[in-house]
Chain A
Amino acid sequence: MRILIKNGTCLVFGKGEQKTNIYIEDKIIKEISSEEKDADKVIDASGMYVFPGLIDVHVHLREPGQEYKETIESGAKAAAKGGFTDICCMPNTNPVNDSPSITAFIKDKALKAGFSNVHPIASLTKGLKGEEICDYGELKQAGAIALSDDGRPVTDSGVMRRAVEYAKAFELPVICHSEELSLSGKGVMNEGIVSTRLGLTGIPDSAESLGVKRDIEVGSLVDYSVHIAHVSAKKTIEIIRNAKKSGTKVTAETAPHYFTLTEDAIDLFDTYAKMNPPLRTESDRLAIIEALKDNTIDIIATDHAPHSDEEKIVPFEEAAFGITGLETSLALSLNLVFSGILSMEELAEKMSINPGKVIGINNSLFEGNQANITIVNPDFEWIVTREGFVSKSKNSPFIGKKLKGICEYTIKNGDIIWRRQN
């Protein structure tokens, strides 16, 4: 199909914001120019921003094993709706994605679903147990795009060292869930004033910063760039910033909830605001924003963690960690642009270019590149509702909130996989 996207403000690779047209043919961006090419489908993108296809490097789909929370199909559809042409799914399924057969199963399911590209992340260690490393080479051949034990750290530093070293052989990115478990203990929220108020066990920020310090050390020891997942704390940012300054190769992501909400969202016992790492304080939130600005944090990822009501409509301590994120991430991140923190171009870096660099996918808008494109309406205001989610799960702390900005079209390999309905 030939598609012409006209009159949009396009975030063209190397040129920034350009008022131009994009012409797609044979799944490829054929031409970026002011010319109005003849096409089967013309999209009028007046007043809209044309982004390189958004990439989310941190998503939990629950298949295989917990299909009642999310399937590969429902998750990929939620991703398409959220503007993501590509998502990477974490291996903490049941069974764990630690074998080429599971990796291939996920790829296959995603292909059949037909929405966003789903790139499986295989586990660093067998069964996420932190003991034995997996067959990274075979996993890569089966389609694994990265490695992670996300959900828990590899507690043994020696195992972590060998895992990162071995990953290097296959040039597979290593995504670190960095946490010192002995400090987080049985904590259920940030250790701070709200945990003191509510009598809930706290997770100190040091549990994260110490974990991150360890993982950066391991990366530096074996001279391989590790990627730090879901940064939530100011202390962590200082560690990453210093590491980068001293020339250590490392990348880092945060999630929209960490630059939007604080621990106050939990009062009184709101389980939708429960996640790990936990929401922190206002000073942490501001530090995250600063870190996005100065590129200490390279990437915005969602940590999309769907859970059913059975896991969330329970007393706080019993509730599962995590929130659904794919469908609210873009609007929450656009808010950084509206409030003058990032430019649209910088947002495209955080949500497409930089995550692409980590996992080896390039969705940049240039002639000849694969047509993975997200068309964003920055002015559209909407209210988050339970019913509005296409994900199977509704566990969002943003339900009832008014957001601005939405994905109008998601185009993957030249196919429109999402068109917002009025």
Chain B
Amino acid sequence: MEFKKKNILDINSLSASEIEFILDTADSMKEINERPVKKVPALRGKTIVLFFQEPSTRTKLSFELAAKRLSADSVSLAASSSSMKKGETLLDTARTIEAMKPDILVMRHSMSGAPHFLSKFLKCSILNAGDGRHAHPSQALLDMMTIREKKKTLTGLNIAIIGDISNSRVARSNMRGLVKLGNNVKVFGPPSMIPFKIEEEFKVSVSRSMEEALSDADAVIMLRIQKERQGANLFSTDREYSRFFGLNRENLKNAKKDVLVMHPGPVNRGVEITPELADSEISVINEQVSNGVALRMALFYLVSGGSKNENSD
């Protein structure tokens, strides 16, 4: 298969076979990360700019390592140190970056649609590393990669996504991808965190209790309570939230025995998930992080036209 996408802006614009192809490519990248010398020359001479307008630790580090392991030159630019602080518009900043001829721009932005907006003007590839509440395609892809790796399949599974769906770009991208590949997705959270017409739009079902959401689940994706993104009064207190909407040993009994517990991080320990569960053997939170590097290597490789010259290296 030849991968023709120039940008990865959301999951919606990827077909099921493109998603699977990305995951296959990521699987093959994984081995590189286990070598003593973790570097291949695939993207030698390519320049990758990481433009993060919002704070990020793991996503940024993951993209950065992925770039370096493919021998690309990567530089990162934080909004706090950029001229956006001086009032420059997003488009002007992006055009300035582009004038220095990067091949790929990885961007994170607090506003939904910001990468789509820039993609209309820039010639370089754009990888969306999270935009507002809209999409976080690389996170969803690494989640799918992790589920597929553990379950040996990525179709017909029961997957629960629990928490602040309204404010979550991770949830949106995961719902889109998992449903596209034929999984049953249930979502649960307080109604203040479940967006309007979600069933119709994402073809998921909304559960009425933690037990219902978790019943027969193959995997459960817990979402972070995004305190920084929160309007007032979406829920009462952390304490009550953890009791009724948090994951614990007891309610997890409703799930399948070999259920995977996932979390995109960073975890609010004791709020959406008990610390004990987060650290337990059924938690694949660290595998998610490891897979993230391989998955992002795959994305860099594919948008650079890697699939067109398989044997050139």
Contact = CB atoms under 8 A, between A and B. Distances in A.
A199 B201 contact: no
Nearest to B115: A315
Contacts of A201: 133
Contact of B112 (A191, A192, A313, A317): A317
B197 A196 contact: yes
Contacts of B201: 193, 196-197
A313 B91 contact: yes
B69 interface: no
Contacts of A318: 90, 111
B195 A315 contact: no
A315 B109 contact: yes
Nearest to A310: B89
A200 interface: yes
Nearest to A313: B91
A7 interface: no
Given A193-B197, A193-B200, A317-B132, A200 B113 contact: yes
Which one of A192, A199, A201 has the greatest number of beta carbons of chain B within 10 Å? A199
Interface string B185-219: 00000000001111011100000000000000000
Contacts of B116: 268-269
Given A191-B196, A314-B89, A199 B231 contact: no
A315 to B, nearest CB: 4
Contacts of B195: 195-196
B196 A199 contact: no
Interface size class of B (residues with CB under 8 A): 20 to 34
B132 A199 contact: yes
Contacts of A314: 89-91, 117
A199 B172 contact: yes
Contacts of B303: none
B180 interface: no
Interface in A75-127: none
Nearest to A200: B112
Which one of B112, B116, B201, B202 has the greatest number of beta carbons of chain A within 10 Å? B112
B12 to A, nearest CB: 8
A195 B172 CA distance: 12
Interface string B277-309: 000000000000000000000000000000000
Contacts of B197: 192-193, 196
B263 interface: no
Contacts of B134: 198-200
Contacts of B90: 314-315, 318
B133 to A, nearest CB: 3
A8 to B, nearest CB: 45
Nearest to B176: A197
A212 B293 CA distance: 53
Interface string B94-118: 0000000000000001011110110
Interface string B107-141: 00101111011000000000000011111000000
B224 interface: no
B109 A199 contact: no
A317 B196 contact: no
Contacts of B200: 193
B91 A192 contact: no
B169 interface: yes
Interface string A172-205: 0000000000000110000111011111111000
Contacts of A366: none
B198 to A, nearest CB: 6
Contacts of A185: 231
A185 B135 CA distance: 22
Interface string A282-324: 0000000000000000000000000000100111111000000
Interface string A192-224: 110111111110000000000000000000000
A383 B70 CA distance: 49
20 contacts: A193-B197, A193-B200, A196-B197, A196-B201, A196-B202, A198-B112, A198-B134, A199-B134, A199-B135, A200-B113, A201-B133, A202-B196, A314-B90, A314-B117, A315-B90, A315-B111, A315-B117, A317-B111, A317-B112, A317-B132
Given A192-B196, A200-B134, A314-B117, 13 more contacts: A196-B198, A198-B113, A199-B112, A199-B135, A268-B113, A268-B116, A269-B113, A310-B89, A313-B91, A314-B91, A315-B111, A315-B113, A315-B117
